[in-house]
Structure 1
Amino acid sequence: MVTIYKNSGLPMVAPEVDGPDWMAWVIFGSILWAVWAFVEQQTIALMIVVKSSYSAGAASVAFTTLNLLVASASLRSLVRLPDWLYYLGHVIVFRYASAVLHEQAFLDRLPNLPMNSSVLCPDNNAEYGCRYRNGTYYLLERYHFPENGLDHGRQDLELWSNFGFSFAFFGGMFVLNLVLYLVPLPSFIKSKFRD
């Protein structure tokens, strides 16, 4: 846990001119820890019912990758998702963790986002290679905002509620593991582990 917090401070301290933003660093590190702990608990839950630890680990990686693809808004915009897939993302921890990290990194930051260091992006956003005026325009394409007219009553970026949901998913998975360890396993699962 100390390693996660220590290393999460690197992107938060370096870009700041006035000094480090300690609250952003704590939020960033906490979200990384919550996601790591959730995936760890998910893997532990799979190891209870799968005999091979390698198979349980591979299944956990597959579930995690699929969940990241569906709900993180990094590869596909949540605004353009079909409704059923958008609502399916509400039961995935990565939707909330990604929203916190995106909001923290891009909202009202990064003015005149250039394609690279040689292309300058003026405010009118008309130059080749300039897709977004700033980080907020990037978020408007990825998440529902009341301002973009595409929200249909949806609001995806609420920092503290998304932060809380990330930890609620970890807590839920932790409680599920406690229940799985306390409840006796069915005989068909026990028979898998007998040699």
Structure 2
Amino acid sequence: MSNFKEYEDAIAMYHSALSIKTVPVCSWDFHNEFLSSVKNVFLDLNKLNSIALQNKWSKNDWDLNSSLKEEVVIVTDVKLNIIFASHNMKKMNGYAESEVLGKSPKIFQGKATSKSTSSEIRTAIVEQKPFEKTVLNYKKNGTIYVCFIKGFPIFNNKGLLSHYIAFEKAA
């Protein structure tokens, strides 16, 4: 299996360096989708690793590579402003990363979002504890979707709160 990962990483690096991206016309639909997916995971992983190194995150046991393929990953600063959102968020709720950067995750909430669940999440954040919750969120187009969220505080090497990270998927 590690050969496939190395292969995917090599393809992503190769294609991200190309100025002209071409593939055979007969395989355009699925080949392009696959390459875009691999490239986006690679780019997201690089961004996350850069954020982690820059902020001196203490070691964690998350498998970010798998998470970026299967879930939406969102990172906020301590003031809960989004500083990173993975590319696959667009598939889940219609938002691109550029549309949510600098905003609070409350952008995904609305009338149907449970106030008690939001309060429980807020309490976990204040207490700097991990949480797992299912919430009703809103897509960019206004439709409601059920979202399972696993959130964690992230501490730096000195043990100080640095960021929050959430792994989300439509339930």
Whether the TM-score (by the shorter chain) exceeds 0.5 is no
State TM-score, norm by structure 2.
0.27
User: Is the strand fraction higher in 1 or 2?
Assistant: 2
User: Is the helix fraction higher in 1 or 2?
Assistant: 1
State TM-score, norm by structure 1.
0.25
